Amino acid sequence: MRSLRSAFTSLPRPCTVNSSTADNVAHLTIMMFHTVRRGSGKPLLLVHGIGGSWASWELVIDLLTEGGREVIAVDLPGHGQTPPLSGSVSIATLADAVTEFLKEEGLLGIDAVGSSMGARLVLELVRRGGVLGAVVSLDPGGFWKGWEIPVFYYSVAASVRLVRALQPVMPAITGNPVGRTALFAQFSTHPWSLPSDLALTEMRSFAASPSFDELLHNLAYGELQRGSPKGSVVAPLVIGWGEDDHVCLPRQAARVKSKFPDAQLYWFPSCGHFPQWDSPELAARLILAATSGNPLPQPERRYKPAASPRVKWAIATSLVIATIYFFRSQRH
């Protein structure tokens, strides 16, 4: 795998954003989107999740360019090298920002792939219509119910506080399999095998994002995602889900499908919250097939492999440690 420090075409892209504040007063914000463009062919937009950056897609970028696509990976506002929105930050205001960026770039109708929060974001753009072409939404966040909501919110809030506190020693932690397992057990089925440079970049990005806390609360407790009536989505729409996702539980896939009945549901066997990490080759094949209208790479069916004992142990241990740290930090 090419290092994250290798030379990519990184371009800041200006756009004017119609961003709405809490009292629905629109104002104009001049944004500079940081993007990484690579390859040639039909453009493909990659939208990362909360706290991430364009580098969250590192394991599949070369596979997608080899498949004949020009990849445009963005840093969303308040992530990576893109400054935050000047007003409130939510799925709605991020969707406004991405739409204006695509207009400025002449990219309306571009095929797109989103992950986690980014997967929820591309679904919102599908609902609005006229913004994207074919779409792949990987493990979209925002479809929790009941007890799932506080479990998601407090587990991730605790984890990110711990990640911020550990920044001085993060290179050492991400540089060994045990450390990566402790940090990423909630997100990956085999976190020990993640590349150390990817793990470090992700943890740096999580800690540095000025929009993380507001977006996390919005995802958990903000406006519910609206759907699109059957027959209203013309371009291909595929919702991919890791069967061992411990962030967005597999049961939530049916809720997404009910809101977007035109979508095709695709299960990634033995994958967690980020299929593009746990099975990059399969994720790339799915993306290339779905966005070109070709048959998907394997039958649509539901597997249920058991998570390995060490993954279960790592998830439980890391969540306990993060939760203890969270409540201790609340007292100070």
Mean pLDDT of the chain: 86
**Is pLDDT of 2 > 90?**
no
Per-residue pLDDT tens over the stretch 69-88: 999 999 999 999 999 999 99
The answer to whether residue 3 is domain-embedded is no
**Is pLDDT of 46 > 80?**
yes
CA distance 255 to 62: 33
The answer to whether residue 279 is domain-embedded is yes
Q: Give the mean pLDDT of 257-265.
A: 97
User: What's at 180, amino acid-wise?
Assistant: R
Q: What is the dihedral of CA 95, 85, 83, 109, to 10 degrees?
A: 20
Q: Give the mean pLDDT of 186-206.
A: 97
Pairing of strands 237-242, 264-268: parallel
The answer to whether residue 84 is domain-embedded is yes
The answer to whether residue 4 is domain-embedded is no
What percent of the chain is modeled with pLDDT above 90? 78
- Which pLDDT does position 314 carry in this prediction? 43
Answer for the pair 272, 244: CB distance below 8 angstroms, yes or no: yes
- Which pLDDT does position 31 carry in this prediction? 64
Q: Give the mean pLDDT of 196-213.
A: 97
* Range of the structural domain that residue 179 is part of: 9-330
The answer to whether residue 309 is domain-embedded is yes
Answer for the pair 305, 270: CB distance below 8 angstroms, yes or no: yes
**Is pLDDT of 23 > 50?**
no
- Which pLDDT does position 38 carry in this prediction? 97
The answer to whether residue 287 is domain-embedded is yes
Q: Give the mean pLDDT of 321-332.
A: 46
The answer to whether residue 2 is domain-embedded is no
**Number of structural domains in the chain:** 1
**Is pLDDT of 235 > 80?**
yes
* φ/ψ bin of 194: left (φ > 0), alpha (ψ from -120 to 50), beta (otherwise): beta
User: What does the DSSP 8-state code read for residue 261?
Assistant: T
Strand, helix or coil at 136? Answer: strand
**Is pLDDT of 35 > 80?**
yes
The two three-digit tokens of residue 309, written as one number: 């004992």
Per-residue pLDDT tens over the stretch 124-137: 999 999 999 999 99
Answer for the pair 257, 302: CB distance below 8 angstroms, yes or no: no
Q: Give the mean pLDDT of 223-238.
A: 96
Q: Quickly state the pLDDT bin for 151 (edges 50, 70, 90).
A: very high
The two three-digit tokens of residue 37, written as one number: 């463009």
| Least confidently predicted of 29-43, 129-143, 164-178, 233-247 | 29-43
Q: Give the mean pLDDT of 228-247.
A: 97
| Least confidently predicted of 275-279, 281-285, 293-297 | 293-297
pTM: 0.85
Higher pLDDT, 116 or 313: 116
Alpha helices in 106-147 (DSSP H): 117-128
**Is pLDDT of 316 > 70?**
no
CA distance 182 to 313: 9
Answer for the pair 172, 179: CB distance below 8 angstroms, yes or no: yes
- Concatenating the DSSP letter of every residue in 282-317 gives HHHHHHHHHTTTPPPSS------PPPPHHHHHHHHH
The two three-digit tokens of residue 79, written as one number: 């992530």
Residue that the structure tokens 């030379």 belong to = 7
- Which pLDDT does position 13 carry in this prediction? 52
First-to-final CA distance of the chain: 43
**Is pLDDT of 25 > 60?**
no
Residue 200: CATH number of its domain: 3.40.50.1820
Higher pLDDT, 132 or 300: 132
Q: Give the mean pLDDT of 112-125.
A: 98
The two three-digit tokens of residue 137, written as one number: 């939404």
**Is pLDDT of 15 > 60?**
no
